[in-house]
Amino acid sequence: MSEYPNTIILPQTNQLVSLYSIIRDVNTRRGDFVFYSDRIIRLLVEEGLNQLPVEPHTVKTSTGISYEGSRFVGKICGVSIIRAGESMEQGLRECCRSVRIGKILIQRDEETALPKLFYVKFPEDIAERYVLLLDPMLATGGSAIMAAQVLLDNGVKEEKILFLNLLASPEGIKAFYEKFPKIKIITGGVDQGLDANRYIVPGLGDFGDRYYCI
């Protein structure tokens, strides 16, 4: 079994490492952080789409010759975990025209320190779709596990969910896999682990704050 079961890690090419070096840098300005994060997000979405099933499909080219190709099977939608996950919606829209988007709001309960569900909005037919679950950081896995469970409770099959994130911790991957072994995680990289405050290290800081605010 792989060190990170059911996890697809983007190839660590020179380009990808350079992109991560930019967004990890504490001195990178917000405009550059957004631009280069969006490039990584696009790569994640493309890899997610690579995992969807296809069927043979023949088309006729402009030269009059048939081409034995393929086409996607089934409908998809994105589901972002508010708010940082919303940063990944545009990358999905750029790859899939008119894609439906659902949202889940999960926040930490200050009294229990556990994730708490506050808001859910899905397409009515989400149970029939393949779902790309969007959240930039997989740290402890608490929010992602709750979000995935909400999808299952709404009829989505576990094997039809793909979880996309820019960075993951080994702890988060382990916790998520133990709960949902059939859900594929697609990540840009796996960092060293979590610090005492449960932040990913070396990480890149608070993704939502850097993307939207700073």
**148-172 pLDDT per residue, tens:** 999 999 999 999 999 999 999 999 9
**172-191 pLDDT per residue, tens:** 999 999 999 999 999 999 99
Cα–Cα distance measured from residue 186 to residue 200, given in angstroms and rounded to the nearest whole number: 17
Which residues are identified as catalytic? 108, 112, 206, 209
Residue 37 lies in domain: 7-212
Evaluate whether residue 1 is within a structural domain. no
Evaluate whether residue 24 is within a structural domain. yes
Q: Where are the alpha helices (DSSP H) in the chain?
A: 14-24, 30-50, 89-95, 142-153, 170-179, 207-212
Evaluate whether residue 142 is within a structural domain. yes
Domains: count for the chain: 1
What 3-state class would DSSP assign to 131? strand
Evaluate whether residue 76 is within a structural domain. yes
Evaluate whether residue 2 is within a structural domain. no
**46-102 pLDDT per residue, tens:** 999 999 999 999 999 999 999 999 999 989 999 999 989 999 999 999 999 889 999
The domain that contains 112 carries what CATH number?
3.40.50.2020
Evaluate whether residue 144 is within a structural domain. yes
Evaluate whether residue 54 is within a structural domain. yes
Q: What is the pLDDT of residue 213?
A: 85
pLDDT at 111 over 90: no
pLDDT at 200 over 80: yes
Q: What's the token pair of residue 192?
A: 């060293």
- Contact between 74 and 52 (Cβ < 8 Å): yes
pTM above 0.85, yes or no: yes
Q: What's the token pair of residue 185?
A: 């995680």
Starting at the edge strand found earlier in the chain, the sheet holding 161-165 runs 7-9, 184-187, 161-165, 129-134, 75-82, 100-108, 115-121
- Contact between 120 and 104 (Cβ < 8 Å): yes
Q: Name the band, by pLDDT with cuts 50, 70 and 90, for residue 113.
A: low
205: left (phi over 0), alpha (psi -120 to 50) or beta: left
**122-148 pLDDT per residue, tens:** 999 999 999 999 999 999 999 999 999
Evaluate whether residue 166 is within a structural domain. yes
